[in-house]
Structure 1
Amino acid sequence: MITDLHDQPSYTTTALASHRPEAGRIAVHPTPLATAPAYLAHDLIRALGKHLPPPRIDPPWWTTNAESSWRVTVAWTQVLHINHYVICRAHRISGRHLEHLMALRERTRTRLTLVVSGPPPAALTSILNAVPHHSINTFEAARQHLNPGSESRADTSTTYPWWHCAPFPAPDNEPWYALPPRPRHPAGRPDAATSRSRGTPTRHPSIHKAPPAIALPALTNASTPSPHLEPVAQRIYTRIAHPVHAAAVAIRALTGYDTDQLPHLTTPTPLRPRADLPADLPGWALLLLDAARTHTELEEYAPPELPAHLTGADKPFRLSTWDQHDIAYATDTCHLVAAPALKRPSTRRKNM
Structure 2
Amino acid sequence: MTSPPTGTAPEETHRQWTPSWSPDHTDPTLPPITLITDTDDQPAYTTTALAAHQPALGQIAVHPTPLATAPAYLAQDLIRALGKHLPPPDIAPPWWTGNADDSWRAAVAWTQALDIGHYIVCRAQRITGRHLEHLMALREHTRVRLTLVVSGPTPAALASVLNAAPHQQISTPEDTRRHLTTDQHLTSRNPARYPWWQHAPFPTPHDEPWYEMPPRPRHPAVRPGETTSSSHGTPTRLPSTNNPPPAVALPTFTQAAAPSPHHDTVARRIHTRVAHPLHAAAVAVRALTGYDSDQLPQLTAATPERPHSDLPTDLPDWARILQDAARIYTDLNSLIRHDLPAHRTGADRPFSRLGDRNDVDHAAESCHLVAAPATRRTKTPRKSRR
TM over 0.5, shorter chain = yes
Is residue 298 of structure 2 the alignment partner of residue 261 of structure 1? no
- The DSSP-based 3-state class of the residue aligned with 1:281 is coil
Number of the residue aligned with 1:334? 367
CA distance in 2, matches of 1:59, 1:221: 35
**Superposed displacement of residue 196, structure 1:** 7.6
CA distance in 2, matches of 1:55, 1:257: 29
Which amino acid in 1 is paired with 2:346? G
Is residue 161 of structure 2 the alignment partner of residue 135 of structure 1? no
Is residue 204 of structure 2 the alignment partner of residue 178 of structure 1? no
Contact 1:180 1:215 (8 Å CA) reproduced: yes
Contact 1:25 1:82 (8 Å CA) reproduced: yes
Which amino acid in 1 is paired with 2:211? Y
**Superposed displacement of residue 290, structure 1:** 0.7
Q: Deviations over 1:77-123 (max 9, x none)?
A: 00000000000110111001111110111100100000011221111
Q: Deviations over 1:180-232 (max 9, x none)?
A: 1110101212026548897699997787473x211111222565133210101
CA distance in 2, matches of 1:184, 1:26: 43
Which amino acid in 2 is paired with 1:43? D
CA distance in 2, matches of 1:54, 1:43: 14
CA distance in 2, matches of 1:311, 1:203: 33
Contact 2:273 2:367 (8 Å CA) reproduced: yes
Number of the residue aligned with 1:86? 120
- The DSSP-based 3-state class of the residue aligned with 2:37 is strand
**Superposed displacement of residue 319, structure 1:** 3.3
Which amino acid in 1 is paired with 2:40? H
CA distance in 2, matches of 1:263, 1:41: 27
- The 1:148–1:333 alpha-carbon spacing in structure 2 relative to 1, beyond 3 Å, is same
Query: Structure 1: 5+ residue runs without aligned partners?
Result: 345-352
- The 1:28–1:116 alpha-carbon spacing in structure 2 relative to 1, beyond 3 Å, is same
Provide the TM-score with structure 2 as the length reference: 0.83
Contact 1:268 1:314 (8 Å CA) reproduced: yes
**Superposed displacement of residue 161, structure 1:** 1.2
Which amino acid in 2 is paired with 1:333? S
Is residue 55 of structure 2 the alignment partner of residue 48 of structure 1? no
Is residue 83 of structure 2 the alignment partner of residue 33 of structure 1? no
- Match 1:96 to one of 115, 122, 130: 130
Number of the residue aligned with 2:150? 116
Contact 1:2 1:115 (8 Å CA) reproduced: yes
**Superposed displacement of residue 152, structure 1:** 6.6
RMSD over equivalenced CA pairs, Å: 2.4
- The 1:201–1:16 alpha-carbon spacing in structure 2 relative to 1, beyond 3 Å, is farther
**Superposed displacement of residue 40, structure 1:** 0.8
- Match 1:62 to one of 90, 96, 117: 96
CA distance in 1, matches of 2:177, 2:43: 13
- The DSSP-based 3-state class of the residue aligned with 2:300 is coil
Report the more deviating stretch, 235-244 or 181-190: 181-190
- The DSSP-based 3-state class of the residue aligned with 1:134 is strand
User: How many aligned residue pairs are there?
Assistant: 342
Contact 2:57 2:189 (8 Å CA) reproduced: no
CA distance in 2, matches of 1:179, 1:342: 13
CA distance in 2, matches of 1:257, 1:37: 35
**Superposed displacement of residue 169, structure 1:** 1.8
Report the more deviating stretch, 123-132 or 298-307: 298-307
Number of the residue aligned with 2:111? 77
Number of the residue aligned with 1:165? 199
Which amino acid in 2 is paired with 1:12? T
- The DSSP-based 3-state class of the residue aligned with 1:26 is strand
Which amino acid in 1 is paired with 2:261? P
Report the more deviating stretch, 190-199 or 294-303: 190-199
CA distance in 2, matches of 1:237, 1:142: 31
Report the more deviating stretch, 287-296 or 135-144: 135-144
Number of the residue aligned with 1:20? 54
CA distance in 1, matches of 2:338, 2:51: 43
Report the more deviating stretch, 141-150 or 80-89: 141-150
Contact 1:28 1:88 (8 Å CA) reproduced: yes
Q: Deviations over 1:17-37 (max 9, x none)?
A: 111111100001111111111
Number of the residue aligned with 1:247? 281
Query: Structure 2: 5+ residue runs without aligned partners?
Result: 1-34, 378-386
Report the more deviating stretch, 219-228 or 38-47: 219-228
Aligned-residue sequence identity (percent) comes to 63
CA distance in 1, matches of 2:66, 2:96: 22
- The 1:300–1:195 alpha-carbon spacing in structure 2 relative to 1, beyond 3 Å, is closer
- The 1:206–1:314 alpha-carbon spacing in structure 2 relative to 1, beyond 3 Å, is closer
Provide the TM-score with structure 1 as the length reference: 0.91
- The DSSP-based 3-state class of the residue aligned with 2:169 is coil
Number of the residue aligned with 1:145? 179
- The DSSP-based 3-state class of the residue aligned with 1:169 is coil
Is residue 272 of structure 2 the alignment partner of residue 229 of structure 1? no
Which amino acid in 2 is paired with 1:283? D
CA distance in 1, matches of 2:259, 2:163: 53
Number of the residue aligned with 1:279? 313
